[in-house]
A and B are shown apart, each in its own frame.
Chain A
Amino acid sequence: MSVLLDHLPELWQGLVVTLQLTAASFLGAAVLGVVVTALRVSPVRVLRAIGTAYVETFQNLPLLVLLVLAFFGLPEIGVKAEPLTTAIVVISVYEAAYVGEALRSGVNSVSKGQGEAARAIGLTFTQSLRHVILPQALRTVVQPLGNIAIALIMNTALAGAVSIVELTTAAKNVNLVEAQPIPIFVGAGIAYALLAALVGLVTGRLERRLVILR
């Protein structure tokens, strides 16, 4: 156990980076995901095709490949950013495909009458999406979004491949020095579990607050 205390600053720093990656990427993924959903249900066929292509591409590439490719490839086309920024953007873009799919199934779960009613009272596409459909869709997708958030936390561990010292990499580095894998990795595992539990707590709360009592 003392290993954990001795290296608390490094591990803590790793946890902070994991939190930064998680928070920023989830925000990015949420925003992008809404855009992707809007594209996929839009009236314009080209936009729908773009939305579909986006989801298809990013759901079918390993995140690790995307991270490495973006990290080394983007500077070659003149786009260079800090490693942390690159990782946040890549994880956002990747997870947005999943958020988009979750939101779309949420939109599809809203009963057809709602859409028809919205249109009947003269709302436009954007208005009916914003005021009628999405708020209802969000309720049904709180749980799936929570699962995506948990998966996203797990995925931030891959950022280690592009030189970012997040929690898993920090734990690995401490282990290289101390060679006491069990306490170190179990400690890191507990930290992840706590983070995920926090997400679970929040989604549970949200779901209870948003659920419509009929």
Chain B
Amino acid sequence: MCMKKMIAVVAVALLGLAACGEADNAAVPGPSKTGKDVIGKAPVAAASDILPGSTMEKIKSRGELLVGGSLDAPLLSQQNPATGEVEGFDATMGKALAKYIIGEPKVKIVNSASETREALLANGTVDVVFQTYTITEERAKQVAFAGPYYTSGLTIAVKQGTSGIAKPEDLNGKKVIAGANTPAIPAIKKLAPQAEIVTFGSDPECLQALKQDRGVAYVQDETLLIAAAQKDPAIQIVTKPFTVDPYGIGLKHGDEQMKKFVNDWLGKIQADGTWQQIWKDSIGTVVQGDAPQPPKIGSVPGS
């Protein structure tokens, strides 16, 4: 039986390679149209809004918006290997902003390790950062934040059938999985100081580790866990989000002109339904229901 499977695998592999993969399997990515239609309808700034000598004018004359982002954040900013396009909520927001400034959604994503975003903005390597960039007063000393444009929170997933974990405090004394360098680590340390944190480099690694009992719980952003739980029945979410992380659009510190411009844009796309459509095309594919109420611009200390 194994042998048959093996042979099947090899045969499929050969056939697939020969046919250059025209399978319509779910795991086989094809060109995705996420974000295409919505960008078509997204607004473009009036010429008078692009003030002379401003950052916006510089971007427009360059013809490309440089965005600090990730390539490996599913639903938010994930590269589609089939097309090379970066897809998801953050990525599409970046494209919409590029269209607003330039008239075309021309974006170059600069993959930034999250520790260096402040530096990338300060030395002008990127114009904006869309990367689950939680607004904090601490960070606001080094960067300017437009937004918040989205609010998320951390939650806890366990393997199906695990009992005894219903709130963050229950993690005390247990082995807890978290992604390396994610906000989950300080949050666990604060709410469950006696938890033993084990870290892995990526979301699928954390999920695999959870399934292999390397830890009893996995703390991660709600969106990612919802997506995981939907794909894999072995994974179960046990709490409502227990943190509030308002994501901001990172800009160069002190660039008030750009900040106002981006906030105006954000207000416009929230009013005309573009924001909601971007949400539906990305996070909305795993979270049921309508798009949530977008957070109020400037409502968070530091924004």
A binding-site residues for B, Cβ under 8 Å: 68, 72, 75, 80, 83, 161-163, 176-177
Q: Is the CB of A83 within 8 A of B201?
A: no
Query: B200 touches which one: A75, A80, A163, A176 (CB < 8 A)?
Result: A163
Which residues of B have CB within 8 Å of A80? 212
Q: Is B208's CB within 8 Å of the partner chain A?
A: yes
Residues of A within 8 A of B209 (CB): 72, 163
Instruction: Give chain A residues whose Cβ lies under 8 Å from the Cβ of B198.
Output: 83, 163
Give the residue name and chain of the A residue nearest to B201 (CB).
Answer: A161
A161 → chain B closest CB, angstroms: 6
Known: A68-B205, A72-B205, A72-B208. A163 touches B214 (CB 8 A): yes
Residues of A within 8 A of B181 (CB): 176
Q: Are A163 and B212 in contact (CB under 8 A)?
A: no
Q: Which residue of B lies closest to A76 (CB)?
A: B212
Which residues of chain B are within 8 angstroms of A75 by Cβ–Cβ distance? 212
* Nearest A-chain residue to B212, judged by Cβ: A75
B191 within 8 A of A: no
- Bound-state CA distance A72–B204 (Å) is 11
Tell whether B136 is near chain A: CB-to-CB under 8 Å. Answer: no
Instruction: Tell me, in angstroms, the Cα distance from A161 to B185 when the chains sit together.
Output: 16
Complex Cα–Cα for A163 and B208 (A): 13
Query: Which residues of chain B are within 8 angstroms of A161 by Cβ–Cβ distance?
Result: 200-201
Classify chain B's interface size. 10 to 19
A80: min CB distance to chain B, Å: 7
For residue B270, CB closer than 8 A to chain A, the reply is: no
Task: Name the CB-closest residue of A to B208.
Answer: A72
B199 at the interface (CB under 8 A from A): yes
Cβ–Cβ < 8 Å partners of B212 in chain A: 72, 75, 80
CA of A83 to CA of B198 in the docked complex: distance in angstroms? 10
Residues of A within 8 A of B214 (CB): 83, 163
For B214-251 the 0/1 string (1 means CB < 8 A from A) is 10000000000000000000000000000000000000
Distance in Å: Cβ of A86 to nearest Cβ of chain B: 10
Assess the A176–B201 pair: CB atoms within 8 A: no
Q: A163 to B199, Cβ gap below 8 A?
A: yes
Q: Which residue of B lies closest to A75 (CB)?
A: B212
Given contacts A83-B198, A163-B209, A163-B214, 8 further A-B contacts (CB under 8 A): A68-B205, A72-B205, A72-B208, A75-B212, A80-B212, A83-B214, A162-B200, A163-B198
Q: Tell me, in angstroms, the Cα distance from A75 to B212 when the chains sit together.
A: 7
In the complex, A90 Cα to B298 Cα: how many Å? 51
Complex CA–CA separation, A161 to B212 (angstroms)? 16
B185 touches A176 (CB 8 A): yes
| Chain B residues closer than 8 Å to A72, beta-carbon distance | 205, 208-209, 212
Q: With a 10 A CB-CB cut-off, give which of A72, A80, A162, A163 has the most chain B CB atoms.
A: A163
User: Which A residues touch B201, using CB under 8 A?
Assistant: 161
Residues of chain B with a CB closer than 8 A to A163's CB:
198-200, 209, 214
A162 to B198, CA, bound (A): 9
Question: How far does the Cβ of A90 sit from chain B's closest Cβ, in whole Å?
Answer: 16
Give 12 CB contacts A-B under 8 Å.
Answer: A68-B205, A72-B205, A72-B209, A72-B212, A75-B212, A83-B214, A161-B200, A162-B200, A163-B199, A163-B214, A176-B181, A176-B185
